Chain A
Amino acid sequence: MTVPQAILGALSVYLALGVLFAIPFVLVGAGRLDPDARQGTWGFRVLIFPGATLLWPLLAKRWAMGARVPTERTPHKEALRRSERAER
């Protein structure tokens, strides 16, 4: 096997696993991460399928951790967290 063949083979495996992951993800996993996705339409599920296929390791990790919708971290929210901690 040549190097390009090996790379392309690894990519194919990655994408195949992605497709396998994306099916349960768009049906169930998305709703676990984000309550707004629970009642999502079929069109929505189809639209997020390619993204789930490409980014599956990231999403699998969030799903396994039981992660929820992240909030943006801004300096003000950090400052708030610090001052709330100081009060406790």
Chain B
Amino acid sequence: MGHSYQAVQWNPNKKRYDALLLVSVVLYLGVFLGVGFVWFPEATAETLLLRALGTAGFLALHVILCIGPLARLDRRWLPLLYNRRHLGVTMATLGLLHGGLALLQFHGFGDVSAFESLFTSNPRWGSLAQFPFQPLGAAALVILVLMAATSHDFWLANLTAPVWKALHMLVYVAYGLLVMHVALGALQVESSPIPLVLLGVGILTVGGLQVLAARKDRQVDGEIGVSPGSDTGWIDVCAIGEIEDGRARLVLASGERIAIFRDGDRYSALSAVCQHQNGPLGEGRIVDGLAVCPWHGFQYRPKCGRSPEPFQEVVPTFPLKIVEERLWLDPTPLPLGDESGSTSGGGIRA
């Protein structure tokens, strides 16, 4: 990036999403409490609030885990992906309120501290029906808070890739912990099968979408047609007219995807991994002469791979040539910022 950090970079879309998010949460909690009071008149207000907050947070986590794969399967989901961060912070807040309320209600008035009580008051670790499910929720909560606390762009830029990978894997750990928190907790005292069915639907939806998205990624890679030994020497990519104007053709070479963008009769090859969060730059389009990453809109000049001023991002470029109306790619990256790889339609360059 190349500008000073603010708390939130507001734009009209973000405000609209946040307003929608807030209304949804308030509506959900309101409906849950209202219906709860009518259907379960014996339940206390604290219990209903605890359940409303817990299920709201768990539901939000499902939405979060589904948005990523949905956006990979269908681009129309992308706007949701951009706002996932605020959804994540909202979810962590709901989890904190739910956990805090439980801590206060079940552990706040004993002889030992509430935190100690949380881990020691129920020692039946060997029992399935009476397993201490609350520490599972607490462990998940630690992960969710850690992720919310590190969601500002500053952390994106300054935590290294291995740390990011670890954080991303931890969401799934948190999800697993919460499934057990619910299955070993609330479901054990529940006589109606509806919550169990809902949990099953949730797990299948999250899991199914992940599998579908992974399969689509493999399909995209498969269509690229990887020729063996393609890490050195020129690769015959396609005929020059075959790439749609403003879009890219992907080639897998030197261990990663390379995007060959067409802008009118000019062709340029860029490493297809966005420098922001490793987004699929090759699935982006040319807008106003710049290749735009579909995930968060980072822009790159196709010729040299550099982001326009004041931004500092740069992705490697590769030599291209046109021989007898066919595009050829050399998979050895050029020095950063080198424009010499780009080529234009009519002429033949070697």
Chain A interface residues toward B at CB < 8 A: 2, 4-5, 8, 30, 33-34, 36-41, 43-44, 46-48, 50-51, 53-55, 58, 62, 69-80, 83-84
Contact = CB atoms under 8 A, between A and B. Distances in A.
A34 B159 CA distance: 11
Interface residues of B, number: 40
B14 to A, nearest CB: 15
Contacts of B1: 36
Given A48-B155, A76-B271, A43 B6 contact: yes
A37 B316 contact: no
Interface of B: 1-8, 113, 115-116, 119-120, 145-146, 149-150, 152, 154-155, 157-161, 163, 254-256, 258, 271, 273, 275, 278, 315-316, 332-333, 335-336
Listed residue (B3, B4, B119, B275) with the most chain A CB atoms within 10 angstroms of its CB: B4
B254 A44 contact: no
Interchain residue pairs A-B with the least CB separation, the first 5? A43-B7, A75-B255, A39-B4, A76-B271, A50-B149
Contact of A74 (B3, B119, B145, B271): B271
B5 A41 contact: yes
A67 to B, nearest CB: 9
Nearest to B278: A72
28 contacts: A2-B120, A5-B116, A33-B158, A36-B1, A36-B2, A36-B154, A37-B4, A38-B4, A40-B6, A41-B4, A43-B6, A44-B5, A44-B7, A47-B152, A48-B152, A48-B155, A50-B149, A51-B150, A54-B145, A54-B149, A58-B159, A70-B161, A71-B275, A75-B254, A76-B258, A76-B271, A76-B273, A80-B335
A22 to B, nearest CB: 11
A36 B256 CA distance: 30
Contacts of B256: 74-76
